[in-house]
Structure 1
């Protein structure tokens, strides 16, 4: 592997945060394929993508003045249908940390919120961009980890193995447990 991985523990943990530079909204922008996960909701889905688009920073609330925002569109198919379903929301950065976000649904889902954050990201072996995200538990889903790739086929097995090892090395028992539960999300 061309380089080592740099991850951080969830900001919601009591662990000290290492010096770490979160991804910029420009780097996050675009379409990502959810190739691996621990979230049960993805076991019955396929071809899951998340598309982020940079929005103007929030100025509607003094408490969020200038915080980065992303338009967030999740697209997927069920295992038995070719119909593409979507879930839309807006992500607002937690302060100036563009690696920690609060998601709020749009439309009929406007009352639904969740916290997610980037645990690690980068480009390995010269061409494989990836993001590893952590989602806090909600009323609808358990806490979980997703691995995103710019490429539909996902990252090479060597990179996925390194991601799992790095997650398992974070001294946070819930993340270590999740590292051993990562499964492949179906794609065709």
Structure 2
């Protein structure tokens, strides 16, 4: 099986306090470990970043937060796709390029767990890719549970949101594994 790494939305704009409290401060470093492994192995890898269409978003091109963080920044020749939806597959050539590379499985990591990661994991599985989620190379923000429509719902911490989302994905859409287990399985 050929497996590719898909890094999603590990961007400078994710450091904005607008997102709220965050869990897993080691997510980027775990993603960087995966990236180093895939580079050394010469395995396919893809960088995806979000360009929001909402003017107030830290990920809007006018707000300076679209750059991919240095620890996982692409090098020359590595595919980089911009997206404007929660899915890494919509509006990008990701699916076609995975097929072109002979990829049958993906490892997904990035930000944020209940948004673009969850959507992309679900879509990868629905498209037939054997999907692994590097759950410790992802993170969630507390604000996803506090939108106006949810004012009568109990507030959840970023860690609770992350664990709940990973639990919902595991088994149905992916195998949720820690970075160490993924690296061991691929070695």
Which TM-score band (shorter chain)?
A: 0.3 to 0.5
Q: Under a length normalisation based on structure 2, what TM-score does the superposition of the two structures give?
A: 0.32
Which of the two has greater strand per residue?
A: 1
**1 or 2, which has the higher helix percentage?**
2
